[in-house]
């Protein structure tokens, strides 16, 4: 009854973020159970934090986070890597993305 049930189409950037998130979870599966739990916890909390704190229109910063995340995912995929120390990123100064 009523509209609003139609699925929302994701933007290209949203698809990239979801693909990166899934990539981390997939990579974590290749680690020990303890490492996997730690990685899953860090990844989910970091993605959740950024979802709430990062302005959806700040495309430059989101692209930066995607690049950083992809580099960290590549490191995590290495058999020598057992976990992530942290995925936290310092927010850029307010001038990022604005042209003066």
pLDDT in tens, 17-28: 999 999 999 999
The label of the residue with tokens 């949203």 reads: 14
C-alpha to C-alpha distance for 54 and 30, rounded to whole angstroms: 30
Instruction: Give the range among 40-44, 53-57, 93-97 with minimum mean pLDDT.
Output: 93-97
In a domain, 94, yes or no: no
Q: Flag whether 99 is in a domain.
A: no
User: Is 83 domain-assigned?
Assistant: no
pTM over 0.75: no
Pairwise CA distance, residues 67 & 73, whole Å:
10
Residue 82 lies in a domain: no
The total number of structural domains that make up the chain: 1
**What is the Cα–Cα distance from 58 to 12, expressed in whole angstroms?**
14
Give the range of the structural domain holding residue 34, as residue numbers without chain letter: 12-77
65, part of any domain: yes
Q: Is residue 3 part of a domain?
A: no
The backbone torsions φ and ψ at residue 85, rounded to the nearest 5 degrees and listed phi first, read -65, -40
Distance separating the N- and C-terminal Cα atoms of the chain: 50
Is 90 a domain residue? Answer: no
Give the model's pLDDT for residue 3.
Answer: 52
């Amino acid at each position: 009854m009523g509209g609003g049930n139609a699925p929302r189409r994701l933007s290209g950037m949203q698809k990239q973020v979801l693909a990166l998130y899934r990539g981390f979870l997939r990579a974590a599966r290749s680690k020990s159970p303890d490492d996997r739990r730690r990685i899953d916890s860090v990844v989910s909390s970091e993605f959740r934090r950024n979802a709430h704190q990062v302005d959806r229109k700040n495309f430059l910063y989101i692209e930066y986070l995607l690049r950083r995340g992809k580099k960290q995912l590549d490191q995590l995929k290495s058999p020598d890597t057992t976990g992530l120390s942290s995925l936290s990123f310092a927010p850029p100064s307010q001038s990022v993305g604005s042209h003066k």
